[in-house]
Amino acid sequence: MFDANEQKKAASMLRQVLEDTKGLSRRQFLGALGTAAAGSALLATFHGMLASRAQAADTVTTMGWGGEWDDRIAEAYYNPYTQKSGTAVKVIPYSTPKVLAMHEANAMEIDFILGAGLDTPMFVEKGVCQKIDWNVVDKSALTPNQLAYGDYAIGGSTLSYVMAYNKNRWPNGDHPKTWADFWDVETFPGPRAFGRYTAYPTIEFALLADGVPMDQLYPLDVDRAFRSLDKIKPHIVSWWESGGQQQQMMEDQEVDLLYVWNGRGTVTIRDNGAPFAFEWNQAAYQGEVEAWLAMKGGPNPTGAMQIMNWLGRAEPQAAFARLMYYGPTNLKAYDLLDKELAEILPSYPANLEKQFHIDWSWWAKNYEATQKRFEEWLQA
C-alpha cells in the first residue's frame, strides 16, 4: 500500500531530483530522472516502466486529453504512483457528457479526474464526486488555496488561453498585440485558427476585439460578441478541437495566428521548435478552477482516495510544471521551480497582470445556452 511513509519517501526522492535539476531543460530533467532510476524503483517509472506487480484488480481509471498531455501527466503523477503502490493508472479519453451520463446511470467507470475548466464546479454541484477522506489524504501537504471546493476537490493546475503568433511572419516585434489586432486582417494578414471546443473564452475575445475593456467584460454581452464573431469568421481557416490540433498547426505553420492553451503552446515552442511566441496581453486566465476529484460510485473507491493523497502534493505538481508548463496550485511547488521556468507560467505576476480572469460564476449560469448558440453559429 502507498501509505504515509511511502508517500513521504516518494515525495522526498522526487523533490531531490527537482532541486538538483533547477535551471536545466526538460530533456536534462528527464535524463536526471533516468540516472536516479538506476538505483530507485520509484524513479525508474519516469522512463515509462510500469510496476510488474500492478494487477488489473488494482487499477484506478481516469480521463485524459491524449498526446503530449497523457504522456507528461503520466511522467509527473501516475508512473511514480504505480511503481511504488502497485496500482496501475488507466487513462481513457476525456468526455464531460460521458462522465455525466455514467453518473446519472449509476455506472461510473472512472475513479478520479482532473476536472477541466467549468467541469470541476459543475461536477461538485451535481454530486458527481465523493467527499475526500482526510484520514487517507494528508491535508498538511496541501496549501489552503487548493481547498476552494471544501471537502470535494484538491486544486490541480492553472492555465491560460493565450494568443500565439508566427515569428517568421512578424519577426521584429510588430506582431498583433490585442484581439482587435487579431480581428484586423488588413494590417495583420495571414491564416488564423480559433477553438471550437467551448464558447469560452471565444466570447470574451470577441468582445475585447470589439472594444470592451478587460475590466468590464462581465456580464458578457453575448449578442455583441456574436456580431463581432461574424466579422472574423470568414478569415478563420481552421477551428481546432483538441490540444494536439493546436500543436500540429503550429509545427506545420498552417496558420500565423491562433489562441492556444499555454501548456500545449509552450511544449510546441520550447520543446518541439515551432517558430511561434506568445502575446500575454488580453489572455484569459482560468485561475484555480481545475481540481482533482474522486468520483462517486467509481470501480475502485479505495484506490481513488489513495491516489488523491498523491495528486495534490507539491512534488508531482512541480514535476508537471516542468514537463507540461501549466502552473501548480500547491504553492509549495514554486519552491522547486527555477525563476526562468516560473516566468513562462500563466500565474507569473508579469504575465498575470496582462490577463483577465474568466468569471466562472457567469459561465456556470449561462454556459448551456451560450454553448448551444455557439455550436449553431459554427454550423451556420
Please state the domain count of the chain. Answer: 2
Report the largest interatomic distance among the alpha carbons of the chain, rounded to a whole angstrom: 62
Yes or no: say if 13 and 36 are a contact pair by the CB < 8 Å rule.
yes
> In terms of domains, do 217 and 312 share one?
no
> In terms of domains, do 109 and 207 share one?
no
What is the C-alpha R_g of the chain? 21
Tell me phi and psi for residue 154, to 5 degrees.
-130, 125
Q: How much is the mean pLDDT over the chain?
A: 90
Is residue 25 a part of any domain in this protein?
Answer: yes
Displacement of CA 176 from its chain's centroid (Å)? 25
Tell me phi and psi for residue 112, to 5 degrees.
-155, 165
Is residue 347 a part of any domain in this protein?
Answer: no
> In terms of domains, do 15 and 72 share one?
yes
> In terms of domains, do 9 and 130 share one?
yes
> In terms of domains, do 152 and 166 share one?
no
Is residue 373 a part of any domain in this protein?
Answer: yes
> In terms of domains, do 33 and 144 share one?
yes
What confidence score (pLDDT) does residue 4 get? 66
> In terms of domains, do 244 and 276 share one?
yes
> Would you tell me the crossing angle of helices 222-232 and 202-209 to the nearest 10 degrees?
80
Cα–Cα dist 256/191, whole Å: 6
Domain carrying residue 200: 160-285+354-379
Is residue 247 a part of any domain in this protein?
Answer: yes
Read off the pLDDT of residues 29-69 as tens digits, 9 standing for 90 and up. 877 766 665 455 444 433 343 433 444 458 999 999 988 89
> In terms of domains, do 145 and 236 share one?
no
> In terms of domains, do 240 and 328 share one?
no
pLDDT of 195 over the 50 cut: yes
What confidence score (pLDDT) does residue 34 get? 63
> In terms of domains, do 280 and 296 share one?
no
Identify which of 99, 21, 16 has the alpha carbon closest to the alpha carbon of residue 63: 99
Buried-state track 354-373, b at ≥16 Cβ within 10 A, e below 16: ebbebbbeebeebbeebbeb
Cα–Cα dist 193/249, whole Å: 9
Confidence tier at 194 by pLDDT (50, 70, 90): very high
Q: What is the CATH number of the domain that holds 139?
A: 3.40.190.10
> In terms of domains, do 174 and 136 share one?
no
Record the cell numbers describing residue 1, joined without a space.
500500500
Read off the pLDDT of residues 81-140 as tens digits, 9 standing for 90 and up. 887 788 999 999 999 999 999 999 999 999 999 999 899 999 999 999 999 999 999 999
Read off the pLDDT of residues 320-331 as tens digits, 9 standing for 90 and up. 999 999 999 999
For 229, the enclosing helix (H) or strand (E) is helix 222-232
